[in-house]
Chain A
Amino acid sequence: AQSVAQPEDQVNVAEGNPLTVKCTYSVSGNPYLFWYVQYPNRGLQFLLKYITGDNLVKGSYGFEAEFNKSQTSFHLKKPSALVSDSALYFCAVRDMIRGPRQLTFGSGTQLTVLP
């Protein structure tokens, strides 16, 4: 089975400050990990993914995420938040070997960047 948890429903951060959106996962084998962003009434936009290789993954719009196998985490980070980053963020996982073909999504974290 595969699952993913986003422990925070809401994250508020001031513009210019660093932001972190947390994600932990559970898979039987090795994970594929993804972050997506969703703006109101829109579909999901891909931000970044971890498949293999470097634990620090850089993605779109200045976002990055660090894969930590020992802590089974894949937190999303950005050094300096923008008001335009305010959106709903989803972490997703897929078990590389034993999982189904589709992604399993976390419950989402609403990020609000305050001006």
Chain B
Amino acid sequence: GAVVSQHPSRVICKSGTSVKIECRSLDFQATTMFWYRQFPKQSLMLMATSNEGSKATYEQGVEKDKFLINHASLTLSTLTVTSAHPEDSSFYICSVQKPGQGAYEQYFGPGTRLTVT
């Protein structure tokens, strides 16, 4: 499998502040990365698809101005939660899609636990 890192692994912030989460593809260049959020004991919900060099594609119901995604290089995508509120507390997971071979597989990062107080 491929190695995907996320930083930080855990962050606590105060309501109203912004938090940036990084996702790095360490084994290959990824033109496409995905951002998910997961609530306790629930499945992963896709938030957005991050495309290198272009605007991210957001899923219905996800506020693009609140969850800013920047895919500035082929190995790095960032998710910034702006003006965070307690309801934004969640587990955020990124994944990268391996190019070629029909792009069958996604490789997931270890996740970032965000707690907004």
Q: Which residues of A contact B (CB under 8 A)?
A: 32, 34, 36, 41-46, 49, 51, 90, 101-103, 105-108, 110
Contact = CB atoms under 8 A, between A and B. Distances in A.
Contacts of A90: 43-44
A90 B43 CA distance: 8
Interface residues on B, range: 20 to 34
Interface string B64-108: 000000000000000000000000000101010100001111111
A103 B32 CA distance: 13
Nearest to B93: A43
Contacts of A51: 102, 104
Contacts, number: 49
B110 A42 contact: yes
B34 A102 contact: yes
Given A32-B104, A34-B105, 14 more contacts: A36-B108, A41-B91, A43-B6, A44-B44, A45-B1, A45-B108, A46-B1, A46-B108, A101-B32, A101-B97, A103-B106, A105-B44, A108-B42, A108-B43
